Structure 1
Amino acid sequence: MNKVETFNFETNEVRTVVIDEEVWLVAKDVAKTLGYSRTADAIKAHVDEEDKGVGKIQTPGGMQQMTVINQSGVISLSLSSKLPSARKFKRWVTSEVIPSVLKNGSYTKPQSTLQLFDNALQVMKEQETKINHVVDRMDEFEDAQEIRSWEQTELLRMRRNKVFAILGNKHTKRYKALSSEVYQAISHDFKSQFNVPRYNALPRKRFEDGKQFFINWEPSNLLELAIKGAEQTA
């Protein structure tokens, strides 16, 4: 039987177990801590098969076989979580929980000092390789993700403010006469600039570029003439 260690993140318990000298976490505990209401669906949707396993976990009802996930699986669930604390949880697992379990080493057999040193060195090398692999996957994953809802809201707010800066508020004649054309033009230019069909399709890594777009955007010469004409008739 593998020894189970329990850690607490805020008000949630997260159980860990060591299998073949690798730290695994009970998948249900991780998903629940990250705010997933349907934990099984979240694990199936976001965690690769290679990052899942089965561990024997002692529960009040007796020994049970439960789905466990490794560090890579934890990171995948964290990246897809909508909780603000997801990043903090990911850092807690990788910098505190896993090192603590490995340091305790209660799952290893008594060994000589030299053997312990060699094994520790090997574990460190393996962990470094895995972490590098996970970092690469994180970069690829984040690059492919679309902006979140709050980021889309921020872009739309900047778009509105840009239109107000050009036409004035909603009560001006210029706004009433040309707001549709200006909104259409700025939206067309944004989608063309970033090659996206809609605002929330913008990759997260381009969010700052999207904000800068609205700061720098200016109407075309033809639209500028229409705005000046509206000013003269206002």
Structure 2
Amino acid sequence: MNEVAVFNFETNEVRTVVINEEVWLVAKDVATTLGYSRTADAVKAHVDEEDKGVGKIQTPGGTQRMTVINQSGVISLALSSKLPTAKKFKRWVTSEVIPSVLKHGSYSKPQSTLQLFDNALQVMKEQETKINHVVDRMDEFEDAQEIRSWEQTELLRMRKNKVFAILGSKHTKRYKALSSEVYQSISHDFKSQFNVPRYNALPRKQFEDGKRFFINWEPSNLLELAIKGAEQPA
């Protein structure tokens, strides 16, 4: 059975174990702390198989085999969490919990100074490799995410301003006559351009491209003729 070290993040208990000299956290504890109601589904959906394992955990009901996740798995769950404290929790795990377990965990055996130095150097190299891998994954994950609500709001504001620039204010007869067609046309062109079903499905990495789309958008020749032929403002 793996020796369990328990930490508390705000009001939540997070259990950790050391398996093969690597710190693992009980997946259910992490998912619960990050606000997932269906913890098993969250771990299955967001954590890679290589970042999951099984640990023997002592509970009031006896020893149980529980799913555990490593640091990379914790970061994956934190990135997908909607809680505002997710970033704080991720930093807490990586900067406090894991170093504390590695430093004070009872799994450590007495070693010579040279052994300690060699082990520390090896751990640093392994951690650097893992961190670089996690950073790459975070960048890929960030790029693939849909735009945030404030970014969608900005795009919709630019769309509205473009319609006003073409038709004039809401009080003009031209706006009242053609605004629906212009909105439909610009929305259709946007979704076709970026191959998305709705505005907030735009990947974050294309947000600036989305803004440029509205700056440069022009109505089709047919719609342009309708606009020119519409009655001018009174």
What is the TM-score of this pair, normalised by structure 2?
0.85
Listed one character per residue, the Cα deviations across residues 65-111 of structure 1 (whole Å, up to 9, x for unaligned) are 21110111112212222223223322222233222222324321111
Distance 2:116 2:211 in 1: 53
Deviates more, 1:212-221 or 1:190-199: 212-221
Unaligned runs of 5+ in 1: none
Change (3 A) 1:153 1:59: farther
- Equivalent position SS for 1:15: strand
Listed one character per residue, the Cα deviations across residues 191-228 of structure 1 (whole Å, up to 9, x for unaligned) are 34434343233112222332343355454676556445
User: CA contact under 8 A between 1:2 and 1:107: conserved in structure 2?
Assistant: no
Change (3 A) 1:62 1:129: same
RMSD (Å) for aligned C-alpha atoms: 2.6
Change (3 A) 1:116 1:40: same
- Equivalent position SS for 1:233: coil
User: CA contact under 8 A between 1:159 and 1:214: conserved in structure 2?
Assistant: yes
Change (3 A) 1:124 1:213: same
Listed one character per residue, the Cα deviations across residues 114-162 of structure 1 (whole Å, up to 9, x for unaligned) are 1111111111111111121222222222323333455434433442344
Listed one character per residue, the Cα deviations across residues 31-80 of structure 1 (whole Å, up to 9, x for unaligned) are 11111111111111111211111112222333222111011111221222
Counterpart in 1 of 2:145?
145
- Equivalent position SS for 1:2: coil
Deviates more, 1:200-209 or 1:151-160: 151-160
Distance 2:162 2:96 in 1: 45
What is the TM-score of this pair, normalised by structure 1?
0.85
Distance 2:25 2:129 in 1: 19
Count of aligned positions: 234
Distance 2:15 2:150 in 1: 33
Distance 2:26 2:119 in 1: 25
- Equivalent position SS for 2:230: helix
